[in-house]
Amino acid sequence: MCSTLGTGWTVRWSNASDADMRVVVTGGAGFIGANLCRTLVTTSEVDAVVALDDLSTGSRANLDGVEGVELVEGSILDAELLDQVIPGADAIIHLAARPSVPRSLIDPMATHRVNATGTLEVLEAARRHGDPQVVVASSSSVYGANPTLPKHEDMAPMPVSPYAVSKLATESYALAYGHSFGLPTLAFRFFNVFGPLQAADHAYAAVIPAFLANALRGDPLPVHGDGRQTRDFTYVGTVCSVLADAVVRTVTDPRPVNLAFGTRVTLLEVIALIEQQLGRSLECAHSESRAGDVRDSQADQGNLRRLFPDVQPVPLEEGLRATINWFEELS
Ligand SMILES: NC(=O)c1ccc[n+]([C@@H]2O[C@H](COP(=O)([O-])OP(=O)(O)OC[C@H]3O[C@@H](n4cnc5c(N)ncnc54)[C@H](O)[C@@H]3O)[C@@H](O)[C@H]2O)c1
């Protein structure tokens, strides 16, 4: 069972010796974070895992049944709390963020505070406490209005939403701390990550959980625009295995790295795959395209393959099957 600890407490890294590997996951009670905690506790090289999360979009329930993770409830904006959590860590996987384009349009300052200032707080805490490796989550949204496909890390970022700007700040600060202070850093650009634990029933839900929740309820699938926009969907299990490998091998790089595999599919194709797996046809409800959304997305995977030559991505169909199974168990 995951143990929960409040503030006013210093991580003791219970049962860990100096030789053991200790990992802090910020945002560890969120969708990717809670999947990552599950991966880390089964990674033989990792001995202790602490999840730091303010539970603003994540939840304790996401870590239910996970043995060996200590959940610390609090904010990355709280430097004193970071001074209790970071000492002794070998690596920090920094996922905590306000992770939504629409929310950033409603409150750009709040997005900036958590995603940009919060990242600085984490990096500063890392500097204060022995320079652990810091791996950060950036986003394909930084490519924004740049139409070139596939998206290569050398392309000029052209963010079109406050969220995308804040993620560019996240990765830029991390890499600048590598250059300026020698902090071992790695910045991944996640594309569209999907899988179990991804929340479906809120206004800012990502597209695959929104489709699956509606499909299983028998409601029309919400499609913004014509559905021919393309995305490079990445199964969360693949993302977590790359993140775990990055800390086990202390992988660093001076440039951001796409964490996706160049599988470019339209939303209509995803719907067809869901129809195939559910064995029935599904109705769609089309609405206006959303402000800040990009039309097409597809990663160049060259740098990822260079740094992680052994990675075996879970194919889209297989990832969808696992995600459908998880949604079916919920309902
Ligand atoms: N899911 C995707 O497709 C995707 C794509 C690109 C980038 N990302 C990035 O990956 C990371 C994880 O995203 P996710 O999809 O798991 O979202 P999520 O909302 O499930 O996870 C974010 C977590 O951060 C926590 N959090 C927010 N503000 C915090 C604060 N001030 N202090 C501590 N914790 C805080 C939330 O409670 C939540 O648990 C984010 O940085 C996001 O920007 C995700």
CATH code, domain carrying 154: 3.40.50.720
pLDDT (0 to 100) of residue 8? 43
Q: Is residue 67 part of a domain?
A: yes
Residue whose Cα lies nearest atom 1 of ligand 1: it is 193
pTM recorded for the entire structure: 0.95
Is 216 a pocket residue for ligand 1 (Cβ < 6 Å)?
no
Q: Is residue 287 part of a domain?
A: no
Q: Name the token pair of 234.
A: 């990445």
For a pLDDT cut of 90, what percent of the chain falls above it?
88
Q: Which residue has the tokens 């652990």?
A: 132
Residue whose Cα lies nearest atom 32 of ligand 1: it is 75
Q: Name the token pair of 233.
A: 């969907």
**Ligand 1 centroid, distance to 18 Cα (angstroms):** 30
What 3-state class would DSSP assign to 48? strand
pLDDT over 70 at 199, yes or no: yes
pLDDT (0 to 100) of residue 44? 97
Is 28 a pocket residue for ligand 1 (Cβ < 6 Å)?
no
Q: Name the token pair of 86.
A: 């970071």
Q: How far apart are CA 246 and CA 223, in angstroms?
A: 35
Query: 129 or 18, which is more confident?
Result: 129
pLDDT over 60 at 149, yes or no: yes
**Ligand 1 centroid, distance to 29 Cα (angstroms):** 9
pLDDT (0 to 100) of residue 3? 59
| Cα distances (Å, whole numbers) of residue 246 to 8, 184, 262, 297 | 31, 11, 20, 24
pLDDT (0 to 100) of residue 110? 98
pLDDT 10s digits, 252-269: 999 999 999 999 999 999
Range of the domain at 152: 3-9+19-191+236-259+300-309
pLDDT 10s digits, 158-192: 999 999 999 999 999 999 999 999 999 999 999 99
Can the peptide bond before residue 157 be classed as cis, meaning omega within 30 degrees of 0? no
Which range, of 74-83, 205-214, 289-298, averages the lowest pLDDT? 289-298
pLDDT (0 to 100) of residue 291? 76
pLDDT (0 to 100) of residue 290? 81
Q: If you average pLDDT over residues 96-104, what whole number do you get?
A: 94
Q: Is residue 317 part of a domain?
A: no
The beta-strand segments (E) located in 2-43 are 3-5, 21-26
Is 168 a pocket residue for ligand 1 (Cβ < 6 Å)?
no
Residue whose Cα lies nearest atom 2 of ligand 1: it is 193
Is 209 a pocket residue for ligand 1 (Cβ < 6 Å)?
no
Q: How far apart are CA 290 and CA 206, in angstroms?
A: 13
Pair type for strands 264-266 and 230-235? antiparallel
pLDDT (0 to 100) of residue 293? 75
The H or E element that residue 81 is part of is helix 79-85
pLDDT over 60 at 279, yes or no: yes
Q: Is 179 exposed, middle or buried (0-12, 13-18, 19+ CB in 10 A)?
A: exposed
Residues 6+ apart with CB under 8 A from 265: 230, 231, 233, 316
Expressed in angstroms, the distance from the first to the final Cα of the chain is: 23
pLDDT over 80 at 304, yes or no: yes
Confidence of residue 124 (pLDDT cuts 50, 70, 90): very high
pLDDT 10s digits, 1-60: 455 555 444 565 555 566 689 999 999 999 999 999 999 999 999 999 999 999 999 999
Of 163, 267, 264, nearest to 214 by C-alpha is 267
**Ligand 1 centroid, distance to 280 Cα (angstroms):** 33
Q: Is residue 242 part of a domain?
A: yes
Is 195 a pocket residue for ligand 1 (Cβ < 6 Å)?
no
Overall domain count for the chain:
1
Q: If you average pLDDT over residues 207-212, what whole number do you get?
A: 96
Confidence of residue 93 (pLDDT cuts 50, 70, 90): very high
Q: Is residue 137 part of a domain?
A: yes
Give, in degrees to the nearest 5, the angle at Cα 186 between 183 and 192: 150
Q: How far apart are CA 175 and CA 317, in angstroms?
A: 34
pLDDT (0 to 100) of residue 9? 47
Q: Which of 165, 190, 235, 240 has most ligand 1 atoms within 8 Å of its beta carbon, as the pocket-test mutant?
A: 190
Backbone angles phi, psi at 40, to 5 degrees: -65, -40
Q: Which residue has the tokens 């830029």?
A: 172
Q: Is residue 79 part of a domain?
A: yes
267-278 vs 207-217: helix crossing angle, rounded to 10: 40
Q: If you average pLDDT over residues 193-210, what whole number do you get?
A: 92
Is 27 a pocket residue for ligand 1 (Cβ < 6 Å)?
yes
Q: How far apart are CA 318 and CA 126, in angstroms?
A: 37
Q: Is residue 216 part of a domain?
A: no
Q: Is residue 187 part of a domain?
A: yes
